[in-house]
Amino acid sequence: MEESTNKFKFSLLHVDPTGARSGEIQTPHGKIETPIFMPVGTAGAMKAMTTRQLLECSAQILLSNAYHLHLQPGTAIIKKLGGLHSFMDWHKPILTDSGGFQVFSLPKKEITQEGVKFKNQKTGDEFFLSPENSISSQNDLGADIIMAFDECVPGDADKSAAKKAAHRTLLWANRCLKAHKNKNQALFGISQGSIYKDLRIENITELKKLDFPGYALGGLSVGEGIETMSRVLNWSVPLLPENKPRYVMGIGLPEDILCAVESGIDMFDCIIPTRYARSGVLFTYGGKIRIRSGRYKHDKYPVDTRAYSYTSQNFTRAYLNHLYKSNEILAATLGSIHNIHFFMDFVKQIRNAIFENRFAEYKIEFLKLYTQRNKHG
């Protein structure tokens, strides 16, 4: 089962009894094994990590945001300098998000059928983002996968607001397709419809007619909780084409990722590993640890011997505790390297489990160990 857009091709390799799937995406900058976690380097930079360090964590694709790069430094500059891969020295696949999520999160904006007018919160400059100029910005950046410009409503939006946004997203999806000029980039469609079953069904049914090379579910992980998210995934994912990559945006914690994979999702992204790292929360197979805690002051062991990151290989928990206590920038760097390594190792284990038809067992085993520490403090 294959679907290609020039250099873009998705191959579904195996489906586990639970419905969890593993596959491979080929892009102009190399292949991606799915299910895949995509680390986020919002403004064309991983926070507190070099791209070389990201590569050493076995990252396969990085996510960046056209919205932020549109405001600073401007996507035309990046195009002139040879595109985003070269600009940030990352020569593996990149996915850019359209900025829909960010623009609709702004406190003040003016939404019309044309697009969204808003002010740069730092400079006060007025900007306008539309399906056409979001795609044009993403064409400038040259990511391997780009995203349609969608309207995302908050998790607590009522049904009429969710319906309006889903309709607009569909209309804009058409305009994004027409605006898309660089056929080396795969443009993914985004489904909206919040937590409402009929809206999701209608939205996905219509989006499918547009024949995008991949589909994302937007408007999840926006405060609805894992049970609701799981329910929405269970309705929505079976409607998506089997032979195309399926991406759920903005997740998440390891438990969210397991839930998404089980429902048949192939791709996910989140700022959690790097943001948590900066606040001193490190992921281990034994659960999350708060490394600033006094219990680690004398701890001579690595953060996690199973997620054997550069950080775990070379430093003790006591050293990390010291760095966080001293507010050293290096704390953020070593913490981020560890957490990204953990997430990449985790999805590798998931892929292996799927290939061996034991995803259900893997999920139970993982959660048993992982939730132990969090339960007992």
Residues labelled catalytic: 97, 269
Three-point CA angle 337, 249, 16, nearest 5°: 85
281 touches 289 (CB < 8 A): yes
281 touches a copy of itself by CB under 8 A = no
319 touches a copy of itself by CB under 8 A = yes
3-state secondary structure 340-371: HHHHHHHHHHHHHHHHCCCHHHHHHHHHHHHH
In the complex with a copy of itself, the residue whose CB is nearer, 44 or 100, is 44
d(C-alpha 289, C-alpha 277), whole Å: 10
Phi/psi class of residue 328: alpha, beta or left (left: φ > 0; alpha: ψ in -120 to 50)? Answer: beta
118 touches a copy of itself by CB under 8 A = no
146 touches a copy of itself by CB under 8 A = no
47 touches a copy of itself by CB under 8 A = yes
Per-residue mark of binding to a copy of itself, 67-106 (x: CB under 8 A)? -x---xx---x--xx-----xxx-----------------
Q: Which stretch binds a copy of itself (CB under 8 A): 107-115, 195-203, 245-253, 323-331?
A: 323-331
326 touches a copy of itself by CB under 8 A = yes
In the complex with a copy of itself, the residue whose CB is nearer, 176 or 334, is 334
Q: Which residue has the tokens 């410009």?
A: 149
Q: What is the b/e burial string over 202-213, where b = at least 16 CB atoms within 10 angstroms of the residue's CB?
A: bbbebbbeeebb
147 touches a copy of itself by CB under 8 A = no
295 touches a copy of itself by CB under 8 A = no
d(C-alpha 321, C-alpha 137), whole Å: 42
- Bridge pairing between strands 2-5 and 8-15: antiparallel
Write out the residues near a copy of itself by the rule CB under 8 A.
43-50, 52, 68, 72-73, 77, 80-81, 87-89, 297-298, 300, 310, 314-316, 318-319, 321-323, 325-326, 328-330, 332-334
